[in-house]
Chain A
Amino acid sequence: MKQHLLTKINAMKQRLLTMENIHIQGKSDEQWVDIIKGVDLYLNRGEVLGLIGESGAGKSTLGLAAMGFCRDGCVISEGSVHFDGKDLLALSREDIRQLRGNRIAYVAQSAAASFNPAHKLIDQFCEAPHLHNVMGRKESEAYARKLYKRINLPSPETFGLRYPHEVSGGQLQRAMTAMALSCRPDLIIFDEPTTALDVTTQIEVLAAIKDIVKEFNTAAIYISHDLAVVAQMADRIQVLLKGEEVEQAPTKLMLKAPKKAYTKSLWAVREHARIEQPAPKKTDTPVISIRQVTAGYTSQQDVLKNVSFDIHKKRTIAVVGESGSGKSTAARVVTGLLPPRQGSIVFDGAELPADYQKRSRDQLRQIQMIYQMADTALNPKLRIRDLIARPASMYLGLSGRALDERVRALLAMIELEPDQYIDRLPSELSGGQKQRIGIARAIAAEPSFIICDEVTSALDQLVAEEILKLLDRLQSELALSYMFITHDLATVRAIADRVVVMKDGAVVEQDGKSKLFKPPHHPYTELLLSSVPEMDAEWLDRLLIARTKKRAKKRGRKAKP
């Protein structure tokens, strides 16, 4: 009996955060809608909890509620939040302000939007310790430098003297993590901290976060839609769906044996893989041929350096690289938005005018584009009918009844019920549906070549999968060729026939998919491939150890002669 009580008391001491039966409501169209429908969440000291779900599942809302905070237009209607024995929902504004930033910290998805661009990094770092009377200015500056060094930021002594726009995105995200630690909090909430980053940068940030959380024994809630990432970070994973908990379990158990069907479907998400088409015959004319293109936005700097590759009929070429590698610029050259300085674009054996304004209507029709952000790619004031009908009426001269039928046929082709969607505005569609409209607009022109610019990177995995399947089906039905720009290698695996790897504006390697994914690799391809998180809780640790060893070896080799 006594033993039992003791363990209970010990457990109480360990427990940092308890949220019980949380209900959160949001106001939309003058009506209160449940966003979170009775979720329990607990967290022990030093534990990392992974929150997983699609967009709209309520992950961020729940994460913010752990700080006793709600976004504008939302309210915690039921439930309790206890942090270290205090009832956060009952505390006064002043008391809760003392906790936030001091004992509970928050790291947002976009560090660029979360830093004040007008102040130096170190000034923003020192603000919270000063405000909460944790440390003096000198002390916190020293602490900042120590943390900067700890998370491998370049020249940690002077790093803090820079402004947010003077450092890269990955560095800024790490600086934000350091800032969250400035008061040595008990709990940090990470809200998709690496989603906006490249795979290679993501690793650095993940390593920094993991390291720091372990060293300071900080508890954390790690919110993400990327399972592989969460698997690296979390001790325990909780899966959310539409504001309700699906299941929770320790990470290893969850990865090995998910119980619920929904979780299983999340795990199995990358099963779609296109069978690689045989390489085209040498004699075939490629649909699009990019020949020795050099291009840049200013006259001094070349963003593309002597880039050449071909895209054949019914084939998909994936162009892979980090942000800034020139893959989107290559697309701009092909479309004619950016006339190249040297080189040319050849369509079906005939050279295209470099400037899109000089291309004929038919040449414009043949090359269509699907954009990354469907939100900005569709005019928000036009109805779906008009959005899709415009290319059909412009290029193919359809009108009246025939046009209406064509629009309906296109909607059916992208698997949206025509009667239900034809008169909607883009704002009345979900992200995946918007992207489908973008696809319908592209195929309405009956092109032979489509550029897909990161079309799935803004979507949830399940939705992205559906979009990829759709594109694949349309390709075989309509004999399309795709140029698929992406930084996600899983997408490449799913859709490409041939892969072009780019770095700093030049083609590093290009080959058929199966060959490219097999060693030996070009060192840069190797780096890219090894940086893709795997569904294995120890992957990150193993990778980091391997990389340190490699670096040590290199240094050793250099030191010898």
Chain B
Amino acid sequence: MLYLQTFLGFCITIIASIIAAWLFRVLLVRLVGHSTAKFIRTAPLTASFGMLVICMYILCAIFAPLIAPYGEAEILGGGFEPWSSTHLLGTDNLGRDVFTRLIYGARNTVGIAFLITALAFFVGTLLGLYAALKGGIIDQITSRLVDVLMAIPSLIFSLLMLTIFGTSVLSLVIVIAAIDSTRVFRIARAVALTIVHLDYIEAAKLRGERTRYLITREILPNALAPLAAEFGLRFCFVFLMISALSFLGLGLQPPTADWGSMVRDNADLISFGDITPLIPAGAIALLTIAVNFVVDWFLHKASGLKD
């Protein structure tokens, strides 16, 4: 009986998300301008589901104080209280409301992950394109430096760096962004290498264009599709990295709510058959899947594959 119920619940969730995704796409097509609408109409249901989920996360992050019933670090009662009407998802080990912290977690984790990814892309892309364009000794120096950094396992390297520089949000952002920019560098350089040999780059060079124009106007627009796809993937990795670091105690520091440390805080409940600690993990998983749905669609579009 219980299995049947679970199965039914599962089916209803799937159907509900398909309908939600479809409705969301219709809504988007109505809202945006004509040319964008034409583009969005080509989105498969998976991609519109992904966009819906991402939008919900963003709304959560922006309006966290309005949605959340309590304060982020407010202690409201005993530890590990069960789910009830006052505490929707119960309380954690210190008696803070789990639902509230889940919402604030979206703000902290997603916001910081976005900041880190953006920074990593800015630095990595710029250096990668520059190295590909200049070639020769500049390319050799930057590429070998990146190779050295990439040779060290990223989690261990960031643990090391964070122990040295302390665990403030700023050092967290800089350390992870620096490590991730090496990966972005490799991709940007590889993409740009196929572009810099094309005739229009040669024409621009012969015109006497400066490096800045070459990078921003000639190379970057043509490298954008693979880079944007990589941005989605990289965002997920950063996200998982922050959560992993928080779980290990070196990421975001208490009492700031973030999903990684929430799993750790409530991990004990698992032994009692309570699924509360899995909910932040689920939130991470859902966002990762959603982002990848959108990225897949984008890659498909950019590669010009026909179905």
Q: Are the C-beta atoms of B306 and A378 separated by less than 8 Å?
A: no
What does the 1/0 interface line of A375-387 toward B look like (CB < 8 Å)?
0111111100000
Pick from A361, A367, A376: contact of B199, CB under 8 Å: A376
Most buried by B among A364, A371, A378, A381: A381
Pick from A356, A373, A381, A390: contact of B206, CB under 8 Å: A356
At the interface, yes or no: B207 with Cβ under 8 Å from chain A? yes
Pick from B200, B205, B208: contact of A379, CB under 8 Å: B200
Pick from A27, A337, A394: contact of B207, CB under 8 Å: A394
Q: Are the C-beta atoms of B203 and A371 separated by less than 8 Å?
A: yes
Q: Which residues of A have CB within 8 Å of B230?
A: none
B201 nearest in chain A by CB position: A379
- In whole angstroms, what is the CA distance A359 to B206 when docked? 10
Q: Are the C-beta atoms of A337 and B202 separated by less than 8 Å?
A: yes
- Per DSSP, are chain B's interface residues mostly helix, strand or loop, or mixed? helix
- In whole angstroms, what is the CA distance A261 to B225 when docked? 47
At the interface, yes or no: B218 with Cβ under 8 Å from chain A? yes
Say yes or no: A373-B202 contact (C-beta < 8 A), given A379-B221, A391-B207: no
- In whole angstroms, what is the CA distance A382 to B204 when docked? 13
Q: Are the C-beta atoms of A382 and B217 separated by less than 8 Å?
A: yes
Q: Which residues of A have CB within 8 Å of B202?
A: 337
Say yes or no: A361-B208 contact (C-beta < 8 A), given A369-B203, A377-B199, A378-B200: yes
Interface residues of B in 193-237 (CB under 8 A from A): 198-200, 202-209, 217-218, 221-222
Q: Are the C-beta atoms of A380 and B222 separated by less than 8 Å?
A: yes
Q: Which residues of B have CB within 8 Å of A361?
A: 208
At the interface, yes or no: A335 with Cβ under 8 Å from chain B? yes
Q: Which residues of A have CB within 8 Å of B200?
A: 376-379
Say yes or no: A373-B199 contact (C-beta < 8 A), given A364-B207, A390-B207: yes
At the interface, yes or no: A73 with Cβ under 8 Å from chain B? yes
Count contacts between A and B, CB distance < 8 Å: 47
- In whole angstroms, what is the CA distance A445 to B209 when docked? 13
Q: Which residues of B have CB within 8 Å of A441?
A: 203
What does the 1/0 interface line of A314-327 toward B look like (CB < 8 Å)?
00000000000000
Say yes or no: A369-B218 contact (C-beta < 8 A), given A72-B306, A376-B198, A377-B199: no
Q: Which residues of A have CB within 8 Å of B208?
A: 356, 359, 361, 364, 394
The smallest beta-carbon distance between B248 and chain A, in angstroms, is: 43
Pick from A27, A335, A376, A381: contact of B221, CB under 8 Å: A381
- In whole angstroms, what is the CA distance A380 to B221 when docked? 9
What does the 1/0 interface line of A22-37 toward B look like (CB < 8 Å)?
0000010000000000
Q: Which residues of B have CB within 8 Å of A337?
A: 202, 205-206
- In whole angstroms, what is the CA distance A381 to B201 when docked? 13
Q: Are the C-beta atoms of A369 and B222 separated by less than 8 Å?
A: no
The smallest beta-carbon distance between A29 and chain B, in angstroms, is: 9
Q: Which residues of A have CB within 8 Å of B206?
A: 335-337, 356, 364, 367, 369
Q: Are the C-beta atoms of B203 and A381 separated by less than 8 Å?
A: no
- In whole angstroms, what is the CA distance A369 to B204 when docked? 11
- In whole angstroms, what is the CA distance A441 to B205 when docked? 14
The smallest beta-carbon distance between A393 and chain B, in angstroms, is: 11
Say yes or no: A381-B222 contact (C-beta < 8 A), given A72-B306, A376-B198: yes
What does the 1/0 interface line of A352-372 toward B look like (CB < 8 Å)?
000010010100100101010
B307 nearest in chain A by CB position: A73
What does the 1/0 interface line of A401-436 toward B look like (CB < 8 Å)?
000000000000000000000000000000000000
Beyond A337-B202, A356-B206, 15 extra complex contacts between A and B, CB < 8 Å:
A27-B306, A356-B205, A359-B208, A364-B206, A364-B208, A371-B199, A379-B217, A379-B221, A380-B222, A381-B222, A390-B207, A391-B207, A394-B207, A394-B208, A441-B203
Which positions in A face B, CB cutoff 8 Å? 27, 72-73, 335-337, 356, 359, 361, 364, 367, 369, 371, 373, 376-382, 390-391, 394, 441, 445
A-B contact pairs, 10 of them (CB 8 A): A336-B206, A337-B206, A356-B206, A361-B208, A377-B199, A378-B200, A379-B221, A381-B221, A382-B221, A394-B207
The 10 closest A-B pairs by CB, nearest first: A381-B221, A377-B199, A376-B199, A364-B208, A379-B200, A371-B199, A376-B198, A73-B306, A361-B208, A377-B200
